[in-house]
Amino acid sequence: MMNVREYGNWINGAWLKASAMVERTSPANGVLLARFADSGEEEVDLAVKAARRAFDDRSIWSALPGGERAKAIGRWIELLVRDIDKLAKMEAEEVGKPIRFGKGETEWSIELARYAAALAWQIPSDLVNNAGDANLGMVVREPRGVIGMITPWNFPLVTLFQKLPFALAAGCTVVIKPSELTSSTTLEIAALAKEAGIPDGVINVVTGSGKAVGEALTGHHGVDMISFTGSTAVGKHIAARAAEQMKRVGLELGGKAANVVFADADIDAALDGVLLGYILNQGEECVQGTRLLIEESIANEFVAKLVERSKKIRIGLPEDPEADLGALIHEQHMEKVLSYIQSGLKEGAKLEIGGKRLTDSEFGKGFYVGPTIFSNVTPNMTIFREEIFGPVLAVTTFRTVAEAIELANDTNYGLGNGLWTKDIDKAIQVSRELKSGTVSVNTFLETVVQMPFGGYKESGIGRENGMDGLLEFTEVKSIFIKLGKRPHTLPHTVN
C-alpha cells in the first residue's frame, strides 16, 4: 500500500489547510498518489500579500546584498541535493516518466539553481561617465517585484527552475501555481527553502486549476509579472489579460522542432539524436524533435535503421530503472495523441512503426503509446503542423539546403531545431537561417545553463537561463545625477 501524499498551500512559510482537494492518480497504473489543495481567489490573494510584504520590506530579501541571496540559495541547493532521490521519485510518479529521467531532471534543476545563485553576486549595471564633468549617469537593474509563476506538467521541476532561482537571485519574490497534475515537487522545494533560511513570504505556492488559480494570479494587481510555461493557446490568453494592467510577461510556449539530417552527417550519431529527440519524456517535450527532415538520398536507409532502433526502446513503469519511455500524462491527452495518429493515416502518411495504445497486462491500466514513426509526411498534413506532444515522429524528405531550411521554418513555432552535418560552413549557414531560439548542431536536447532558452514566433516571449534569463526578472532604472560643477553645455531635458 502506497502512502498518499497530502498537501495544503504553502503561504508565508507555513502550510495552509485547504477545504477542497483534488486527487492525482498515477498515469502509469491508476494508483492514487497525492491530494492537492483545490484553491481559488482567496488563497491567491493571501499568497500575493505575503510575497508583496516580503518584497516591499527591503530588509527581507529584495535589497539584500546579492551575495547574501546567493548564500541563501546555496544552502537551499544543499537540501535539494540531500533530497534528490525523493524529488526524482515524485516527479517520475506524477508525470509517468521513467525514474532515471526524473533523476536527470532533478539534477539539471539543481544545476540551474547553482548557476543562478552565482549570478546574484554580479547583476550588471552601467555607469555613464562621459556626459560632462557636471553629469553622472547610473543605469541600474532592480528586481522586478512579485512574480507569478505558472508551470506545466511535463517537466514540473525544470520548467520551474528555469525561472525560480533566477528570479530569487534578482531579488524578486514569487507565487507559484504548478500544474494541478504534478504539484508535489514544487511544494516540497518551497518547504525546503524555509529550512535553508530563505525568509517567509519569498516563495509561496498555491495549487489548483488554471481557471481558478491561474486566472486569479494573472489578474491580481499585486503581481508585477507573470512568468508562464505552457501551451501557446493559454500563453496568448495570459498575455492578453496581463496587457490590461501592463503586467510584464515571460512566455515559454509550444514547439514543433525539426531535426534536419544531411547526407554528409555522422549517421550513427544522427540516429541516436533523432531517436532521443522524439521519444524523450514520451514526446511530451516543448523542444521535442517531432519532425525529421532528411536528405532524400539517405532517407530510406535512415528510416529503416530508425525503425529498428525504435523497436528496442524499453517501455516501462516509472520505477523501472532501465525504462526509456513511460506513460502519457492522462487519458484525454492519450486520446488526443491517438487522434493525431489517426489524422496521419487519413491524410496519407505511411505508418512505419507503432501507432497504437499499449494494452497488455502491465501497461493496460496506464496511458501508454509506443514509439510511432510516419514517413511520406508533407507540410500540409496536420502531423507536420500541430504540436502532438506524444512519441510520434513525422518524416519529410528534402533535396537541397534551401528546401531543408524552408521546411524547417514552415511552422508557427520557433523554439528549437537540430541539424546534422560534418560540413561546418553548411552548419553555420543553416543555423543562421533557422528561425528558432535554439539550434543544436550534431546533438539534440543538449545545452548548458549559461545559454538562454526561449522561442521565436508563437513559441514565446523572452528568454530563460543564462544572464538573459536573470535580466528578465529586473527593471532598468536610469539615475541621472547633477554634480556640483557648472555644465559646459545645456543638458538635454527628459521628455
Catalytic residues: 252
In this complex, which beta carbon is closest to ligand NAD, that of residue 62 or of residue 227?
227
Rule CB under 6 A: choose which of 100, 237, 309, 330 binds ligand NAD: 237
Q: Looking only at residues 51 through 110 of this chain, which bind ligand NAD when binding is defined by CB under 6 A?
A: none
Rule CB under 6 A: choose which of 25, 29, 135, 231 binds ligand NAD: 231
In this complex, which beta carbon is closest to ligand NAD, that of residue 238 or of residue 392?
238
Q: Looking only at residues 207 through 226 of this chain, which bind ligand NAD when binding is defined by CB under 6 A?
A: 209-211, 214-215, 218
Instruction: Based on the shown chain and the rule CB under 6 A, indicate whether residue 369 belongs to the binding site for ligand NAD.
Output: no
Beta strands 225-229; 146-150: pairing state: parallel
Whether the CB-CB separation of 116 and 165 falls below 8 Å is answered with yes
Query: What letter would DSSP give residue 210?
Result: I
The closest alpha carbon to 158, from 389, 459, 447, 413, belongs to 447
Sheet holding 258-261, edge to edge: 350-353, 372-375, 392-398, 291-295, 258-261, 416-420, 438-441
In this complex, which beta carbon is closest to ligand NAD, that of residue 295 or of residue 387?
387
Cell numbers placing 277: 529527440
By 3-state DSSP, what share of the chain in percent is helix, strand and coil, each rounded to 5? 40, 20, 40
In this complex, which beta carbon is closest to ligand NAD, that of residue 218 or of residue 310?
218
In this complex, which beta carbon is closest to ligand NAD, that of residue 199 or of residue 460?
460
Q: How far apart are CA 251 and CA 242, in angstroms?
A: 12
Rule CB under 6 A: choose which of 229, 281, 375, 474 binds ligand NAD: 229
Instruction: Based on the shown chain and the rule CB under 6 A, indicate whether residue 344 belongs to the binding site for ligand NAD.
Output: no
Q: Looking only at residues 455 through 494 of this chain, which bind ligand NAD when binding is defined by CB under 6 A?
A: 455, 460
Instruction: Based on the shown chain and the rule CB under 6 A, indicate whether residue 143 belongs to the binding site for ligand NAD.
Output: no
Instruction: Based on the shown chain and the rule CB under 6 A, indicate whether residue 183 belongs to the binding site for ligand NAD.
Output: no
Q: Looking only at residues 373 through 392 of this chain, which bind ligand NAD when binding is defined by CB under 6 A?
A: 387, 389
Q: Is 172 exposed, middle or buried (0-12, 13-18, 19+ CB in 10 A)?
A: buried
Q: Helices in 60-120 by DSSP H: which ranges? A: 66-82, 84-95, 99-120
Identify which range of 61-69, 151-159, 164-172, 478-486 contacts ligand NAD by CB under 6 A. Answer: 151-159
Whether the CB-CB separation of 122 and 116 falls below 8 Å is answered with no
Q: Looking only at residues 252 through 311 of this chain, which bind ligand NAD when binding is defined by CB under 6 A?
A: 252-255, 286
Cell numbers placing 315: 517501455
Binding site for ligand NAD (CB under 6 A): 150-155, 159, 177, 179-180, 209-211, 214-215, 218, 229-231, 234, 237-238, 252-255, 286, 387, 389, 415, 455, 460
